[in-house]
Amino acid sequence: MKVLALNGSPRKEWNTAILLKHALEGAASQGAETELIHLYDLNYKGCISCFACKLKDGKSYGKCAYQDELTPVLQKVEEADAIILGSPVYLGAATGEMRSFLERLVFQYLVYDQNYSSLFPKKIPTGFIYTMNVDDNRLQEMGYEHHFGNTEMALARTFGSSESLYVTDTYQFNDYSKYVVTAFDPIKKAKRKEEVFPIDCKKAFDMGARFALDPVRQ
C-alpha cells in the first residue's frame, strides 16, 4: 500500500505541509508506505493543449506526453494506492503550482466520450486539504466551497472517490507585528492555532488512516 501526498504550498514547514505530514502519519499507522512531494521544488508547466493524450492510436494515448520534472511524479501517482493533495488558498483557489499539476494529472485520463469516462487504470481514494486565512463564515460568503467542489468532482470522476478537508482561519506569521495585517487579531489567531489546528491535524491523520485501509476497494 502506497499513499502519496503532494504539497502545493511554497512553504515546506507550515500549515499545509504539517497537515499533509499528519495525513501520511495516519497512513503509516496502518502500515502504508508514504511519500511527500513538494511541487514547488519542481520545474514544470500546466497542460499545453497538445492533445497527444487524446490521439487515436497515439503512443501517448491516456498519458501526458509533455516531458519535464513533473513526468516522474505523474508516474508515481499511477503507481499509488491513494493520493492526498494539499494547497493554501490564493485568490479563492488552489495555488498556481497545484492547479498546473491538476491540469496535467486529470486531463490525460479524461475521455471525451458521452460519459466523460476515465482511463486511470484502477480506483483509488483521493483527498484534498485546503488551508486558508478566511474563517468559516467568509468561506461560505465568498463561495469557495463551490469552486472546491468542482475539483472534488473531477478527482472523483477520474480516480473513483474524493473528499476535502477545509482548514480555515489559519495562523500565517510567527510575528504579526512585522506585517501590515490590521484586518486580523493576532491573539485570536494564536488561540485558534493552539486550540483548533490540532483538531484539524487529527482530521488529516484520520483521512490518511482511512485511505490506507483502501475504502474504494473494500
Share above pLDDT 70 across residues of the chain, in percent, rounded to a whole number: 98
Q: What is the pLDDT of residue 143?
A: 84
- What's the average model confidence in pLDDT over 35-46? 97
* Least confident residue range of 14-18, 161-165, 179-183: 179-183
- What's the average model confidence in pLDDT over 92-96? 91
For the chain, the domain total comes to 1
Q: What is the pLDDT of residue 24?
A: 98
Q: What is the pLDDT of residue 48?
A: 95
The string of pLDDT tens digits covering residues 109-153 is 999 998 889 999 999 999 999 999 888 888 888 888 888 989 999
CATH value at residue 44: 3.40.50.360
Q: What is the pLDDT of residue 217?
A: 46
CA angle 145, 5, 64 (to 5 degrees): 90
Q: What is the pLDDT of residue 218?
A: 40
Q: What is the pLDDT of residue 174?
A: 86
CA 181, chain centre distance (Å)? 27
DSSP assignment string, the chain? -EEEEEE-SS-SSSHHHHHHHHHHHHHHHTT-EEEEEEGGGS---------GGG-TT-TTTTS----STTHHHHHHHHH-SEEEEEEEEETTEE-HHHHHHHHHHHHTTB--STT--B--SS-EEEEEEEE-SS-HHHHHHTTHHHHHHHHHHHHHHHHEEEEEEEE-S----S-GGGS--TTS-HHHHHHHHHHTHHHHHHHHHHHHHHHHT-GGG-
Q: Which range marks the domain in which residue 140 is found?
A: 2-217
Q: What is the pLDDT of residue 214?
A: 65
* Least confident residue range of 48-62, 128-142, 158-172: 128-142
CA 178, chain centre distance (Å)? 30
Per-residue pLDDT band at 175 (split at 50, 70, 90): confident
- Residue 128, beta-bridge partner list: 85, 164
C-alpha grid cell, residue 214: 483502501
**CA distances (Å), 11 to each of 3, 33, 172, 173, 216, in order?**
21, 23, 11, 12, 31
C-alpha grid cell, residue 209: 488512516
Share above pLDDT 90 across residues of the chain, in percent, rounded to a whole number: 77
* Rounded Cα gap, residues 161 and 146, in angstroms: 18
Q: Read off the pTM.
A: 0.91
Helix orientation angle between 197-212 and 186-195, rounded to the nearest 10 degrees: 40
DSSP assignment string, 20-34? HHHHHHHHHHTT-EE
Per-residue pLDDT band at 15 (split at 50, 70, 90): very high
